[in-house]
Homo-oligomer: A and B are copies of this chain.
């Protein structure tokens, strides 16, 4: 029995946007309204995600501001912030709310601006992102997120022999997929050689192992499975798992296992009554190439240690047996932090409706989204499926 349904989905192009966070969200939200064939009067609440608007442009209390821009003023609104897992967590809370009958139909989404349109350069943005790392032990040492994921990935390489070439294959695949995604920040193709020739950002990551800073917004309409019957093309949410892990990295017994992802995936699969093997594809949180490999193991697509060889062998490509990030992922589609989680839900919705065109996974009936925040400390895993 599914828990809820997505009946509308919309997003902006991910890239560079010179409009406010509320305006940007409005574009995605109105697109989701159009997709569902509804207006603001049909929506009972807004669950809004934004991670860093206060820091980047002194813009907070964004939920009622965003609601005001789309004719929703008055409804209960809340802003969620859980680092890069911000809007996936908003989505989870919305699924709970419609399942419990707290609200009938909830608009969920996120909006973020990370490019220099905010007036901030790359160094300052990197410092702002680092606000999600540990206050006592990590921030004072100057550890930023390329470093956090480099440490996790180095440990994975040490344990399993994962190679830089295997990491590069993730980048190549995701850029190839992104070329088929009209909303992707970077569609251009790359090669393993090109990736391996790039400048080192944080060993073992080179430039092309890292996702870009992006602006963008995404939005979905979540309603109860019963109400979904009256919509044209609903897609069901059959499981949503959510777990956290201890912060900082150094306190985790097996850091590269990304334990929260394993717990969240187990919850989602159990709720969905399905196994990893039944998933036709996954969108995972590839903020760095190494993160995709660890995620592909945590969600059970590959055995521990097999994520690297699988990427190299093309198993996670569009035409592989376990496709990952058909959208291009954070790596090529882009990563507007608070918009990323529901951006994955938009991709799941499009794939499960069979409308993803050149990047369509043939006959996909079940898909999974994995959205991770901070020091791999918050993870939300969602399983969606074609309505029976």
Chain B residue at smallest Cβ distance from A46: B244
Chain B residues within an 8 Å CB radius of A58 = 55, 127-128, 130-131, 139
Residue interface bits A76-115, CB-to-B below 8 A is 1, else 0: 1111111100000100110011011110000000000000
Q: Does A378 contact B (CB under 8 A)?
A: yes
Chain B residues within an 8 Å CB radius of A190 = none
Segment of A64-72, A284-292, A318-326, A346-354 engaged in the interface with chain B: A64-72
A82 CA to B136 CA, complexed, in Å: 26
Expressed in whole angstroms, the minimum distance between the Cβ of A20 and any Cβ of chain B is 5
Chain B residues within an 8 Å CB radius of A79 = 80-82
Q: Given contacts A61-B132, A64-B377, A96-B100, are A244 and B51 in contact (CB under 8 A)?
A: no
Chain B residues within an 8 Å CB radius of A59 = 131, 135, 139
Chain B residues within an 8 Å CB radius of A27 = none
Chain B residues within an 8 Å CB radius of A54 = 52, 54-55, 81, 128, 131
A40-55 residues with Cβ-Cβ distance < 8 A to B are 51-55
Expressed in whole angstroms, the minimum distance between the Cβ of A353 and any Cβ of chain B is 28
A51 CA to B60 CA, complexed, in Å: 8
Q: Is the CB of B77 within 8 A of A244?
A: yes
Chain B residues within an 8 Å CB radius of A60 = 51-52, 55, 81, 83, 131-132
Chain B residues within an 8 Å CB radius of A100 = 96, 99-102
A207-263 residues with Cβ-Cβ distance < 8 A to B are 242-247, 251, 260, 263
Q: Does A336 contact B (CB under 8 A)?
A: no
Q: Is the CB of B78 within 8 A of A89?
A: yes
Residue of B133, B246, B263 near A68 (CB, 8 A) is B246
Chain B residues within an 8 Å CB radius of A373 = 61
Residue of B61, B133, B246 near A83 (CB, 8 A) is B61
Residue of B74, B80, B82, B134 near A244 (CB, 8 A) is B74
Q: Does A374 contact B (CB under 8 A)?
A: yes
Expressed in whole angstroms, the minimum distance between the Cβ of A243 and any Cβ of chain B is 6
Chain B residues within an 8 Å CB radius of A63 = 82, 244, 378
Q: Does A360 contact B (CB under 8 A)?
A: no
Q: Is the CB of A20 within 8 A of B135?
A: yes
Copies of the polypeptide in the assembly: 2
A242 CA to B232 CA, complexed, in Å: 31
Chain B residues within an 8 Å CB radius of A151 = none
Q: Does A73 contact B (CB under 8 A)?
A: yes
Chain B residue at smallest Cβ distance from A52: B54
Chain B residues within an 8 Å CB radius of A89 = 78
A93 CA to B134 CA, complexed, in Å: 26
Q: Is the CB of A135 within 8 A of B378?
A: no
Expressed in whole angstroms, the minimum distance between the Cβ of A203 and any Cβ of chain B is 24
Residue of B55, B77, B378 near A378 (CB, 8 A) is B77
Expressed in whole angstroms, the minimum distance between the Cβ of A373 and any Cβ of chain B is 6
Q: Return the 3 tightest CB-CB contacts between A and B, nearest first.
A: A100-B100, A61-B132, A73-B246
Task: Please list the residues of chain A having a beta carbon within 8 angstroms of any beta carbon in chain B.
Answer: 20-22, 51-55, 58-61, 63-65, 67-68, 73-83, 89, 92-93, 96-97, 99-102, 127-128, 130-136, 139, 242-247, 251, 260, 263, 373-374, 377-378
In the assembled complex, 15 residue pairs joining A and B whose CB atoms fall closer than 8 Å, in A order, are A54-B54, A55-B60, A59-B139, A60-B131, A61-B81, A63-B244, A64-B378, A68-B246, A73-B244, A73-B246, A73-B377, A74-B243, A77-B82, A80-B80, A100-B102
- 16 additional A-B residue pairs with CB within 8 Å, beyond A59-B139, A60-B81, A68-B251: A52-B60, A58-B131, A58-B139, A60-B131, A61-B131, A61-B132, A63-B378, A64-B244, A65-B135, A67-B244, A73-B246, A73-B377, A74-B245, A75-B243, A76-B242, A77-B244
